[in-house]
Amino acid sequence: MLYLLTTVIAQKNVLQSFSTFREQAYDVSLSVREFTKAERDIYLLSKLENLEITDSVFRGGKRERKRYRYSFQGVEICEFTWRNVYNIGRSEFKSLKQHLNENGVTPRSYGLSGRKSNHGHSFEVIENTIKFIERYADEFGLPLPAAPRATDNTPPILLPCSESNKYVHSK
């Protein structure tokens, strides 16, 4: 409990001393939000690479440990404040550091890049679904007058709400 209290007090002190740079930090925060995900990753990876410090320990053999000194506008700040300035969460920050240690400053690949989705449907399944919805709408739907649209002259059709999706699909 004491550790948590001192951590909160330390964070408040850092934020108060950091208040002179508040406008600059806010501008950086807004500009980082405008980046695409790939641009943001590369930007943050390059920032992290510049903040990296390698410590060597020789007790029982050589061991290297990577640490980071977080700073903004030449003022040293804590990790929490650095992450808030650059709009990054704890777990995303952890995975960015891991990617930096393993691959360096290179773009990260996400999820299904180059692979087929497990939840994808074949063209025939989608086509049959559309035909079913159109036939159901023709039989049970309530047509509305066509709204003046620039590209679509098809009037919308309201489907009845008296039947649930489960009931319709069971037919």
Per-residue pLDDT, 170: 74
Closest by Cα among 23, 33, 50, 18 to 87: 33
**Domain assignments of the chain as residue spans, ordered by start:** 9-103, 123-146+155-170
Per-residue pLDDT in tens (0 to 9) along the chain, 171 residues? 545 455 556 666 666 655 667 888 888 888 999 999 889 999 999 888 888 777 777 666 777 777 888 888 888 888 898 898 898 999 999 999 899 888 888 888 877 777 777 888 889 999 998 898 888 888 887 777 766 665 666 777 777 777 777 777 676
Contacting residues for 39 by C-beta, under 8 A, at least 6 apart: none
Per-residue pLDDT, 128: 92
Per-residue pLDDT, 67: 80
Integer angstrom CA distances of residue 169 from 2, 8, 136: 59, 55, 10
**Partners of 63 in the beta sheet?**
57
Contacting residues for 46 by C-beta, under 8 A, at least 6 apart: 105
